[in-house]
Homo-oligomer: A and B are copies of this chain.
Amino acid sequence: MANARLDEGDKRELSEAEALVEADRPRRPTRARRKNADGEPADNNIDILDVAAQCFMEMGFQGASIDDVARRLGATKGRIYHYYRSKTDLFFDVHREGMRRLNEAVHAAMQTGSTGRETLHAMLEAHALTMLQNIAYLAVVVQGVHMHRLGATTLAQRQVLDEIMAIRRDFEHLFIDVFRRGQEDGSIRAENASIAVKGMLGAVNWTAIWYRPRSGETLEHKQKIARELATRQVEGII
């Protein structure tokens, strides 16, 4: 959860001493000060992340302004810039949190199943369900993927973007590896793991476009959609 250093290499140079101070004083406090009577962590930042995810999903990175996010928080820019050095920083932190949840769910599913096909099925279903349960965060993740070729980013941000894309590649390789395992144990007959996986992930990721939770939607309903999507990708429509 450490705040990644974006926008480094600015015009303003940091002396070595300043850099050390910067390193020792975390930009985001480890513990919240306010309203700790009930013992809850009261993590103030999750509010910002949630609202930011919502705004970025609805209006896109360029379309959503910092003021938009602040307004929805019932606050002003000051609050956001107290925790994040830039809009890009905020966006990527949402992205990172989304990828974290996704990785968590998929890794758990990787432990299940015996054949490669069964494991892959479980991973797809977990992926889909996580999408439906965290649609705002994952919509931002999808945007971030699309953002890859956004040449107009500053040099320092590009480093972070590459890190994100590396995580993304690793994630995709999780599926490809299990796919190959399925080819070897005979549970998967299809060839060309790369394209097959891209198609399957596309079918699941596409939920970021069309799915919006109905009010009062039950978990069972989401599970049903996730199961249906995963099953179709494995078994086809025959």
A-to-B contact residues, CB < 8 Å: 58-63, 117, 120, 142, 145-146, 149-152, 179, 182, 187-190, 192, 195-196, 198-207, 209-210, 212, 225, 228-229, 232-238
Contact = CB atoms under 8 A, between A and B. Distances in A.
29 contacts: A58-B151, A59-B62, A60-B61, A60-B150, A61-B62, A61-B63, A63-B150, A63-B152, A146-B209, A179-B237, A182-B237, A188-B238, A190-B232, A190-B236, A192-B228, A195-B225, A195-B228, A196-B228, A196-B232, A199-B203, A199-B204, A200-B232, A201-B206, A202-B202, A202-B204, A202-B209, A203-B206, A205-B206, A233-B236
A179 B237 CA distance: 9
A95 to B, nearest CB: 15
Contacts of A61: 60, 62-63
B206 A198 contact: yes
A166 to B, nearest CB: 15
A210 B196 CA distance: 13
A146 B189 CA distance: 35
Nearest to A188: B237
Contact of A202 (B196, B207, B228, B238): B207
A29 to B, nearest CB: 33
A199 B234 contact: no
B117 A237 contact: yes
A8 to B, nearest CB: 23
B237 A58 contact: no
Nearest to A226: B195
Contacts of A196: 228, 232, 237
Contacts of A236: 190, 232-238
Contacts of A234: 236-238
A117 B120 CA distance: 25
Contacts of A238: 117, 187-190, 234-236
A167 to B, nearest CB: 16
Nearest to A228: B195
A81 to B, nearest CB: 21
A236 B209 CA distance: 23
A202 B232 CA distance: 12
A196 B233 CA distance: 9
